[in-house]
Amino acid sequence: METYKADVVIIGGGGAGLRAAIAVAELDPSLRIALVSKVYPMRSHTVAAEGGSAGVKLPTDKLDYHFNDTVAGGDWLCEQDVVEYFVAQCPVELTQMEHWGCPWSRTPDGHVNVRAFGGMKIERTWFAADKTGFHMLHTLFQTSIKYPSIKRFDEHFCVDLVVADGRVQGAVTIEIASGELTLIEARAAVIATGGAGRVFRENTNGGVVTGDGMALAYRHGVPLRDMEFVQYHPTCMPGTGLLFTEACRGEGGFLVNKDGYRYLQDYGLGPAEPTPRNKAMELGPRDRLSQAFWYEQQKGRTIDGPHGSVVHLDLRHLGEAKLRERLPQIYELAEQFLGVDPALAPIPVRPAVHYTMGGIMVDGLCASPLPGLYAAGECSSVGIHGANRLGSNSLSELCVFGKRAGEEAANFAKSVPPGHSAELLKQAQAVEQRVLGMVKKTGGNERIATLRKEMAQTMEDGCGIYRLADTMQKTCDKLDELKQRFKNVHIEDKSSVWNTEWLLAIELEYQLDVAQAMAYSALNRRESRGAHQRLDGFEARDDVNFLKHSQAHYVADGAPRIDYGPVKITKSQPGTRAYGAAGEKAEQERNASHV
Amino acid sequence: MSDIQKVIEIEVLRYNPETDKAPSSQVFEVPFTDDMSVLQGVQYIKDYLDGSLSFRWSCRMAICGSCGMMINGVPHLSCETFLRDYYPARVRVEALNHFPIERDLVINMEGFINKLESIQPYIIPKEPRTLAQGEYLQTPEQLNLYEQFSSCINCMLCYAACPQFGLNPDFIGPAATALLHRYNVDSRDGGKEERMDLVRSEEGVFHCTAVGYCSEVCPKHVDPANAVNQNKTNAAVDYFLRFVSPKGGAK
């Protein structure tokens, strides 16, 4: 097995991983950085983010407004000190992206333009048409090429971390093109592997979004925090789950039911007005909009389609010219995948799983409880999203916390001596034996695709938009069963070069661990908050018992152990989460009481 | 939805370097619905018929650039190409033309990545600015000059379409030239002079014979042929200017 000696290893080459790599390189050019990604970095799922990235921009906006929107949007399950740091850094980091060449859309006088987004009081979402994630990812990837200290391990699949003397000291990877394993020695590691939405059936995520980094940290004893909070995006393509950005509604799109009625006004989001009003109607937060869809479906007011019930996203009144300028990708997706011209006909949509609010537990410095291990981006739970993420906060998160994780990891690396290579290699060789054993093994009879499909279905059944104890319990039981059956998995492909079946099996094992953390955390949270909504006697938020973070701890060959940690409240006491006219009234009352 | 399950034949060019001397075709029968992409057809094969089939894919929505293949001899993103458009005939999928095959539908893209890295694809500031000074101003018109060239998803369909790249793998080629052009015409950038050496070089734009097939197959309307030809003009102007300007022509 080959060994590569780095100072900092970064696992994941999407937005957060690239930003972390650049941060290490800028902090100290003498540090050797290994940037590991199972795909070429520009394939990472950051690429698919559409609508934009939040940061205070207009003179009428304030950091406090962004803070309040984020904390209330997260149903007060946010680390408020971390949110405060986040909102202050967003404009700085987005300006940095501008300096690096990101093609932000502009106002006529040349300033970066901003658009409205769900749950945001003032327009503060920076955008590059409707391909913001694509442009940010390519800007970061291309900029990273400037730094000679970043050594990329493209199409290298991480199979384990190496932990010695109580701290992370490296990672073991498979080179996909050869099937050969490498030990990357490092004095600190950053995990930036993205979310885990593929554990659900209908989702907006790319095939790579399999929770690898979450599972890696989890298996080494790092808790996964707030995993029950999984975001359903309200406007997705039926069947495939592909995303129609929230910017469709930010630009003025309507959501209507089978009667052409803007049904959101029936769910505390009204009044319905002809033009968008921030934090009302179609610009409400995602959890509320997905929940409203569910109720419309119960009432029989949705439209039947080949892939289940849908409502209509109506963009016709915006006109073709504006749609082509502001939403070109959406226009093409509707035309090519659905045969719908959005200037002439409404787009059928339904909610699909989009984002994992929870993840690897880290503090505000992106440090996990395991010394030397840092995490940033969707794989992490740094505490800014709480129980429901606001759209456009996650792209900013990649920059703000990617940078922070990189700098903190760099400083940690400089503070500790290199490890004992022989000991690390011995560990890596044991990992090699284990993963090669999966391919060599014969006699298995479980098909990967079958297990994956059953997992995704049971997650949808038990951990969907609304949840019940008995179906969640069934999901937990089913996942336990699937983990047992996985031991019997059959890999037909015995070759070394590009054995993607082998990698799919390893990914599936990661997914099963992450899915278990989600399902057990959900079952144990006996209240409703943000994206976790129950219909079995726990319909209300319960701040007395559950204003706290869930923490799932890995138990080998068993169910996760769930315990809870405190939530950091600084300046925003938990209040009623209200939107539309009710939200404005509540805000006026809050302001009056503060005078 | 039709009651009768339609079945389409997908012919896949297979190659495993550990066992095969040369690539060969294999035909699979795949049940499909009208909304299924070629990618979904290939995924069906992997999931249920032959787990050893290898190919790249991720986003499923024509933005990650992973899933380019030759489909009936034409380079396409398989995620946005639909089986219904080939049925009832057989559809043939192969690895992208002009690249070494690593396995099945997976090509080696190292050469492309090296080209991408060689063109200095990042802002070399014309007038450095601190973060405290805020954003650079850039009008929508200035953005328009390069926006289309910044939309390249690196899917390499244009290389599979380019006859000159087929003859000379060192040719810098359409996508990398488009990206180079993207930075050269960005109002924030001052690095054109450094990049133009490559444009004028042996491997530069003069290899292009203006077939234009690259722009035709581009799924993102980047129009790399346009970028290549603008740079031919630039390079030619530079060539003549160097005789009159002591620093060479590029500014």
Q: How far apart are the first and last CA of chain B?
A: 60
Residue B210 CA to residue A191 CA, distance in Å, equals 45
Asked if A332's CB is within 8 angstroms of B60's CB, the reply is: no
A205 in Cβ contact with A242 (< 8 Å)? no
Q: Where in chain A is the domain with CATH 3.90.700.10?
A: 233-352
Residue B251, pLDDT > 70, answer no
DSSP A559: P
* SS3 assignment for A169-182: EEEEEEECCCCEEE
Of A140, A133, A156, the closest CA to residue A9 belongs to A156
pLDDT of residue A383: 98
- By Cβ distance, the residue of B66, B122, B151 closest to A146 is B122
pLDDT of residue A361: 98
pLDDT string in tens for chain A (595-residue length): 999 999 999 999 999 999 999 999 999 999 999 999 999 999 999 999 999 999 999 999 999 999 999 999 999 999 999 999 999 999 999 999 999 999 999 999 999 999 999 999 999 999 999 999 999 999 999 999 999 999 999 999 999 999 999 999 999 999 999 999 999 999 999 999 999 999 999 999 999 999 999 999 999 999 999 999 999 999 999 999 999 999 999 999 999 999 999 999 999 999 999 999 999 999 999 999 999 999 999 999 999 999 999 999 999 999 999 999 999 999 999 999 999 999 999 999 999 999 999 999 999 999 999 999 999 999 999 999 999 999 999 999 999 999 999 999 999 999 999 999 999 999 999 999 999 999 999 889 999 999 999 999 999 999 999 999 999 999 999 999 999 999 999 999 999 999 999 999 999 999 999 999 999 999 999 999 999 999 999 999 999 999 999 999 999 989 999 999 999 999 999 999 999 999 999 888 888 876 5
Annotated active-site residue in A19, A45, A225, A233: A233
pLDDT of residue B16: 98
Annotated active-site residue in A249, A262, A326, A534: A249
A120 in Cβ contact with A38 (< 8 Å)? no
Q: Could you tell me how many CB contacts below 8 A there are between chain A and chain B? A: 160
A421 in Cβ contact with A185 (< 8 Å)? yes
* SS3 assignment for chain B: CCCCCEEEEEEEEECCCCCCCCCEEEEEEEEECCCCEHHHHHHHHHHHHCCCCCCCCCCCCCCCCCCEEEECCEEEEHHHCEHHHCCCCCEEEECCCCCCEEECCEECCHHHHHHHHHCCCCCCECCCCCHHHCCCCCCHHHHHHHHHHHHCCCCCHHHHHCHHHHHCCCCCCHHHHHHHHHHHCCCCECCHHHHHHHHHCCCCHHHCCCCCHHHHHCCCCCCHHHHHHHHHHHHHHHHHHCCCCCCCCCC
Residue A6 CA to residue A169 CA, distance in Å, equals 10
Q: Per-domain residue ranges for chain B? A: 6-107, 110-241
Q: pLDDT category, B177, cuts 50, 70, 90?
A: very high
**Other C-beta atoms within 10 Å of A400: how many?**
28
| A contact test, residue of B36, B82, B122, B142 with most A CBs within 10 A | B122
pTM above 0.95, yes or no: yes
DSSP H/E element including A436: helix A421-440
Of B149, B205, B189, B196, the closest CA to residue A138 belongs to B149
Residue A325 CA to residue A166 CA, distance in Å, equals 53
Residue B200, pLDDT > 90, answer no
Residue A46 CA to residue A49 CA, distance in Å, equals 6
Please name the residue of chain A whose CA is at the shortest distance from the CA of residue B106.
Answer: A498
For residue B229, report the phi and psi dihedrals to the nearest 5 degrees: -75, -35
Please name the residue of chain B whose CA is at the shortest distance from the CA of residue A100.
Answer: B123
pLDDT of residue B249: 41
In chain B, which residues have their Cβ closer than 8 Å to the Cβ of A142? 116, 121-122, 179
ipTM, two decimals: 0.97
Return the bridge partners of A367, or none. Answer: A374
* Chain A contact for B115 (CB, 8 A cutoff): no
- By Cβ distance, the residue of B17, B139, B151 closest to A110 is B139
Please name the residue of chain B whose CA is at the shortest distance from the CA of residue A111.
Answer: B137
- By Cβ distance, the residue of A44, A101, A207 closest to B122 is A101
DSSP string, A249-263: HHTT-EEE-TTS--G
Catalytic site includes residue A434:
no
Provide the 3-class DSSP secondary structure of residue A234.
strand
Asked if B113's CB is within 8 angstroms of A497's CB, the reply is: no
A250 in Cβ contact with A584 (< 8 Å)? no
In chain B, which residues have their Cβ closer than 8 Å to the Cβ of A101? 122-123, 183, 186, 188-189
Please name the residue of chain A whose CA is at the shortest distance from the CA of residue B66.
Answer: A43
Q: pLDDT category, B229, cuts 50, 70, 90?
A: confident
**Other C-beta atoms within 10 Å of A544: how many?**
7
**CATH fit for domain A233-352, picks 3.90.700.10, 3.40.50.300, 3.30.390.10, 3.65.10.10:** 3.90.700.10
For the domain B110-241, what is the CATH code?
1.10.1060.10
* Chain A contact for B140 (CB, 8 A cutoff): yes
Asked if A146's CB is within 8 angstroms of B129's CB, the reply is: no
Catalytic site includes residue A324:
no
B37 in Cβ contact with B64 (< 8 Å)? no
User: Domain B6-107, CATH 3.10.20.30 — does that match?
Assistant: yes
Q: With 0-12 CB in 10 A as exposed, 13-18 as middle and 19+ as buried, what is B88? A: exposed
| B contact test, residue of A26, A145, A438 with most B CBs within 10 A | A145
Closest chain A C-alpha to B137 CA, distance in angstroms? 5
What is the pairing mode between strands A224-225 and A359-361? antiparallel
- Angle (deg, nearest 10), helices A469-486 and A500-524: 150
Q: With 0-12 CB in 10 A as exposed, 13-18 as middle and 19+ as buried, what is A495? A: middle
DSSP A47: G
Q: Token pair for residue A167? A: 């701290």
For the domain A428-539, what is the CATH code?
1.20.58.100
Residue A465 CA to residue A467 CA, distance in Å, equals 7
**Other C-beta atoms within 10 Å of B14: how many?**
20
Asked if B48's CB is within 8 angstroms of A206's CB, the reply is: no
Provide the 3-class DSSP secondary structure of residue A378.
coil
Q: Where in chain A is the domain with CATH 1.20.58.100?
A: 428-539
Q: Residue with structure tokens 């979904």?
A: B40
Residue A214 CA to residue A361 CA, distance in Å, equals 9
Partner A, chain B 70-99, Cβ-Cβ below 8 Å:
80
Distance (Å) of CA B36 to CA A304, A332, A350, B44, B85: 19, 17, 18, 10, 10
In chain B, which residues have their Cβ closer than 8 Å to the Cβ of A497? 16-18, 102-103
Percent of chain B with pLDDT over 90: 82
DSSP A337: I
Q: Token pair for residue B153? A: 């998803």
